[in-house]
Amino acid sequence: MTKSTLQETPDRKRRKDKRPNEILDAALKVFLERGYSSAKMDDIAALAGVRKGTVYLYFKNKEILFLEVIRRNTIPHIEIANQIVKEYRGPKTALIQMLVTFWWEQVGATTTGEILKIIIGEARNFPSVAQFYLSNVFQPAWNIIASLLQSGIESGEFREVDSELVSRALIKNLLIIVLWRVTFGESDDVALDAEFKMILDYFFAGLRIL
């Protein structure tokens, strides 16, 4: 069997197809453990069980690899949120609560939320990474909420407010809880789930028509 024939076998092809995800899994672990600046491509390759050169075959440099880690662990949630909005029929209050709770359960309360701390920590040295997160995660998220708020205002469900400003304020307040969790963890004895629900309660109270 020639070398080229060996490379065409189904088992080797399946293994090759899995490599990008295996590298991304390893990269996420290394980035979360060491941060962006201290993460080494050698360590990512070793954890993924490949040579460093193999990592560069799929990802040109560490920044591109990190951006793909962000994309893989955040963009699908935006896509799911858009699908939920598209299919939902009912009060905007319940829909916003559903979306924000989904975000908290899938991102804020999980290791995915720790990516945000890395981005903030590295924003000054790597502004392109911060801009990517802002453009591809934050902006779409508050656009979704702002659109729902505006729809609720027009239907009479909410009082008149600046929908974009209120949307940004909500998301920024929720992000503070995420940063608190990944920074202090279990050393804080206050239940973050309760604080999360309290923020939502105050948020909707401020939208009620008096």
pLDDT the model gives residue 5? 40
Instruction: Compute, in degrees rounded to 10, the torsion defined by CA atoms 25, 31, 34, 38.
Output: 120
CA–chain centroid gap for 101, Å, is 14
pLDDT one digit per residue (tens) for the chain, 210 residues = 444 443 445 545 546 678 999 999 999 999 999 989 899 999 999 999 999 999 999 999 999 999 999 999 989 999 999 999 999 999 999 999 999 999 888 888 888 888 888 888 888 888 888 899 899 989 999 999 999 999 999 999 999 999 999 999 999 998 888 888 888 775 555 677 788 888 999 999 999 875
pLDDT the model gives residue 190? 62
DSSP structural state of residue 136: I
pLDDT the model gives residue 186? 58
Encode 3-36: b = buried (16+ Cβ within 10 Å), e = exposed.
eeeeeeeeeeeeeeeebbebbbbbbbbbbbeeeb
Give me the phi and psi of 174, to 5 degrees please: -70, -35
State the Cα angle at 138 between 132 and 142, rounded to 5°.
150
Going along the chain from its start, the domains and CATH numbers come out as: 1-59 (1.10.10.60), 71-207 (1.10.357.10)
Cβ atoms within 10 A of the Cβ of 122, count?
17
How far is Cα 112 from Cα 132, in angstroms, rounded to an integer? 16
pLDDT the model gives residue 204? 92
What pTM was computed for the model?
A: 0.82
Extract the tokens encoding 94: 């319940």
